[in-house]
Structure 1
Amino acid sequence: MACPWTELVDRSSMARPESLSPILNPGSGKISPYFKVTYVAIISRVLAFSLFSHPLSILVLIGLLGGWMLLYLFRPSDQPLVIFGRTFSDRETLLVLVLSTIVVVFMTSVGSFLTSALMIGVAIVCLHGAFVVLDDQEPANAGLLSGSATSAAYSLNLELR
């Protein structure tokens, strides 16, 4: 269950940390499970903004996805891949796709854009996690899908007994 966005930016719940440990390890406190879905949304939005600000990166990733889908995922497994009269096994096809993905992502600017956007998103999340102080609204061991669905399943299990 995601927290409301207004609660995420509520200044009354912000406080300066007493030491550097919450800043260096923000996932160690109780705050991380409560904002987990919202943090994932923030990192996803930073990644999306980075990709949309560099349209060539989107085209490269779409080309990689198309190659994987055409040559590996949607090709019938009983038919070998034949290019220019040469037959390629599934292992050879997978090797070429993996190597081309590594080359395209890490040897071009696409990997750089994705890495820098991911680091910026994680930095935003770490800073927020270090400065926010909340009451016990969620248990510290809450999962990603904790909330009303989990509570409903638990109460349904109790009613069945």
Structure 2
Amino acid sequence: MTSYGTIPTSSGAGVDLEYISRAKERLKAGLGTRRPWRQMVELHSFGLPKSVHEAVERVKANVAFFRMNYVIVVLFILFLSLLWHPISLIVFLVMMAVWLLLYFLRDQPLVVFGRLISDQVVLIVLSLVTLVVLFLTDATINILVSLLVGVVVVLIHAAARKTDDLFVDEETGGLLRSAGATSPSSS
């Protein structure tokens, strides 16, 4: 009995397709916690703060709300600064793969030795490991300048963006209030 002319249905092909579809789902779900870029740059949402206290409150609220977007912005600026340092760029790309697996694409909480690790701890540890590894590649000045530029860009955006149109959801842990519940000083 021959199977000439039939399409083979080996389990290997099904596993590969299943793996690809699961990876696509994880990519969508992982980047789903990122806020829409359009919401981040709406022109009517920008204005100078009236006081230093208001600027600090805006920075706190915007960093909590746009955390994933700000990380992407800083990493992109760091990537651009490393284009002229190929070894550093390779190390950075390897670290980006680690970032994708442990921070951006993770769909379940990270548990190490039976302990739940928060997103903030993962963010801090990955940032420190990335910096240490990159500093070992002799691109120290580029890294420091690009990180400084990234932090300045984030702080300027966070201080200038009004927070009265940001809404509470389960992910932010109740740090922000909806437009109707904000204090009059945050407008």
TM-score (norm 2): 0.44
Counterpart check, 1:105 vs 2:130: no
- Aligned with residue 149 of structure 2, among 102, 112, 120: 120
Counterpart check, 1:19 vs 2:27: no
- Aligned with residue 42 of structure 2, among 10, 33, 37: 10
Tell me how far 1:19 sits from its aligned partner.
1.3
Aligned letter for 2:70?
Answer: Y
Report if aligned partners of 2:74, 2:151 keep a CA contact under 8 Å in 1: yes
Tell me how far 1:10 sits from its aligned partner.
1.0
- Identical aligned residues as a percent: 24
Tell me how far 1:32 sits from its aligned partner.
1.9
Report if aligned partners of 2:49, 2:159 keep a CA contact under 8 Å in 1: yes
Tell me how far 1:129 sits from its aligned partner.
0.4
1:1-161 matched pairs, under 5 angstroms: 1-23=33-55, 27-28=59-60, 30-55=61-86, 57-58=88-89, 61=91, 105=135, 109-135=138-164, 137-139=166-168, 142-143=171-172
| Matched residue SS, 1:52 | coil
Structure 1's 134 and 23: CA in aligned 2 closer, same or farther, altered over 3 A?
A: closer
Aligned letter for 2:47?
Answer: A
Paired position in structure 2 for 1:95: none
Over residues 65-111 of structure 1, what are the superposed CA-to-partner deviations in whole Å (9 max), with x where a residue is unaligned? Answer: 9xxxxxxxxxxxxxxxxxxxxxxxxxxxxxxxxxxxx7x937x7511
Hey, what's the Cα distance between the residues in 1 that align with 2:57 and 2:164?
A: 19
Tell me how far 1:15 sits from its aligned partner.
1.0
Over residues 47-82 of structure 1, what are the superposed CA-to-partner deviations in whole Å (9 max), with x where a residue is unaligned? Answer: 1111114335436x48xx9xxxxxxxxxxxxxxxxx
| Matched residue SS, 2:74 | helix
Aligned letter for 1:105?
Answer: F
Unmatched 5+ stretches in structure 2: 1-32, 96-131, 174-187
The structure with more radius of gyration: 1
Q: RMSD over aligned Cα, in angstroms?
A: 3.4
Higher relative contact order (CA 8 A, sep 6+): 1
Aligned length: 104
Aligned letter for 1:58?
Answer: L
Over residues 103-150 of structure 1, what are the superposed CA-to-partner deviations in whole Å (9 max), with x where a residue is unaligned? Answer: x937x7511111111111111000000011133534399459xxxxxx
Aligned letter for 2:79?
Answer: A
